Structure 1
Amino acid sequence: MHLFAYLHVALTTRLAELRRDGERGDSPVPTAVIIFGLVAAAVIVTGLVATKARGWMDAIPDPAP
């Protein structure tokens, strides 16, 4: 029975400490916005590179028969 009382006191004390601590980290919203921006930039850069590579490959003449 003493073990249950100890665990109860330890748990309630820890929960009280967590409630008192106001700083719990960053919200997930700014992180999601940053990730969305990075993905958009990556898509744009990939598209530009693919277009340049396609233009470079199209400029190569066909082999002579």
Structure 2
Amino acid sequence: KGLRTAMWLREIAVVLADSPERLYRDPERLKSFLIEARILGLRVEFLDVPPLYAWIVKEYGWPRERR
């Protein structure tokens, strides 16, 4: 909850986590977080992305690839 509050108050510009699991274990919650972060212009980066989360990070992470 504190992370989202800091996002909305524009107190942070980048979130760096070693894995998506460190933010949310539920892929749907991670997806919602990444969408919200992108809307706010917040950069979210991961050092390692397990296969379960790879499609979510690729589709909704930063930067989004142009198709």
Q: TM-score range by the shorter chain?
A: under 0.3
TM-score (norm 1): 0.25
Instruction: Judging by fraction of residues, say which structure has more strand.
Output: 2
Larger gyration radius, structure 1 or structure 2: 1
TM-score (norm 2): 0.25
Name the structure, 1 or 2, with higher relative contact order (CA <8 Å, separation 6+).
2
